[in-house]
Structure 1
């Protein structure tokens, strides 16, 4: 398998961001920015534990906040998936394609994308169960604590590795019109064989930059406008939506560039 070139992938991702910039920017605004903004403005706010709350009360507050947020996050994820696959379809199409055609295609692929996420979620859950259960079962002892630590480290390593190995699954679905989720996952693993850690490291670097920028902006907004209701929430929602849109489209460009680099096998496979 060819070795993944991070420099070439970054250059190609910048080229993709410049191509169809008006069209992809509009899609990102509608399908990435606006849903995140709407949830930030009108969705449930995290529950803040009372002063002096016990650990159990704090945990219960986090659990209730997560329970309230799940329906909104699922809706945002589905809408974002439509926009993401539509953008990938525009970038990876070897022939002319309109925004409408790209979005119609993305809507048709929603069941496939949901099935892929469910399969990967089940695999992650099984891995977590196998790696964490031995330590959790022996909680309270030195051996149990060590087993739990080792299991968590192995789980983090596996997640990072397969993040790289599965990075091109969405571009594969967008380019090859694969409706079978198992086939899409298998093709993604085959295409990234021997390059999992390189791709994961590349994605991790980009993600760190996005998280740092988001944290800085969030801190500035909190210091200037506060985090409560009113102007602080409105301004924070704008920043959150902007970070979601920019982060989503940059990540899509990187995965598309990675796929373009690894998928080319001959003159007939050259992307325009």
Structure 2
């Protein structure tokens, strides 16, 4: 099946409209509030207070210390948002209209598989990228080294596209085996990698423009007021933008998955092709 960008977007917007109430609750609890709390309670992690903004080492040191001090908070947020992400996909796609509790339960059960699948993706990407880059640098020839790096860049984007449907494979198809989830995503995107890349790219550009306009305009207003109002106002805006981005992204993934998977999932026993 050839991927249709317009149909995927229409499906995504339809899913958001159909499940608006549930989406607001999940996005608010799992994405808006955690991001807002991080912005207000740990501003160092978001805007490192360094004396010299050009001193990247000092900035990185401040951020590193912040993450060391609050690693447990980051872990809680990571796990809760992972569960919320999977639950949101369930709510968007399950025609049986599960309750919020059922969706969260399925998200919690699926989270270990989601985590393991992401680890596998990192390992696969590391091997696929470091092998040619390492060989290129081993030659010691500048031209070959540059060529190896240039070849690695499109490879990164290719792998990102091929594994972009892992979350729907786990949350929607119910595949709890991480390897099978990777295989499912790989097969669903087969023959549509370029179209999917262009769709993701255009969507990212459009969302980035909207985010920049919203944050810049409102940021100027809050900056003019200053004080706590600026901190809280910017925190609310960035948290809303973050939650909105997550919702749109997941709805798009659900729309793409529904289009490419059809009504009946493909056989999971087939391996990568």
Superposed pair shares fold, TM > 0.5: yes
**Equivalent of residue 175 in structure 2, options 175, 178, 183:** 178
Checking the alignment, whether the CA contact within 8 Å between 1:33 and 1:245 is kept in structure 2 is yes
Unaligned 5+ segments in structure 1 are 268-272
Aligned pair in 2 of structure 1 residues 151, 222: CA closer, same or farther (>3 Å)?
Answer: farther
Partner residue, 1:253? 251
Partner residue, 2:271? none
Structure 1 range deviating more: 164-173 or 254-263: 164-173
Aligned pair in 2 of structure 1 residues 63, 83: CA closer, same or farther (>3 Å)?
Answer: same
Checking the alignment, whether the CA contact within 8 Å between 2:129 and 2:155 is kept in structure 1 is no
**Equivalent of residue 157 in structure 2, options 156, 160, 163:** 160
Structure 1 range deviating more: 67-76 or 36-45: 67-76
Q: CA offsets per residue over residues 72-131 of structure 1, 9 Å max, x none?
A: 555433222212211111222232311110111101111111111111122233344334
SS at match of 2:98: coil
Checking the alignment, whether the CA contact within 8 Å between 2:93 and 2:254 is kept in structure 1 is yes
Structure 1 range deviating more: 161-170 or 149-158: 149-158
Partner residue, 1:118? 119
TM-score, structure 1 as length reference:
0.84
CA–CA distance in structure 2, aligned partners of residues 65 and 232 of structure 1: 21
CA RMSD of aligned residues (A): 2.8
Partner residue, 1:270? none
Q: CA offsets per residue over residues 208-253 of structure 1, 9 Å max, x none?
A: 2222222233323443333986222211111111111110010001
Checking the alignment, whether the CA contact within 8 Å between 1:44 and 1:68 is kept in structure 2 is no
Checking the alignment, whether the CA contact within 8 Å between 2:86 and 2:111 is kept in structure 1 is no
Partner residue, 1:207? 204
Checking the alignment, whether the CA contact within 8 Å between 1:6 and 1:202 is kept in structure 2 is yes
Checking the alignment, whether the CA contact within 8 Å between 1:85 and 1:174 is kept in structure 2 is yes
Checking the alignment, whether the CA contact within 8 Å between 1:210 and 1:247 is kept in structure 2 is yes
The number of aligned residues is 259
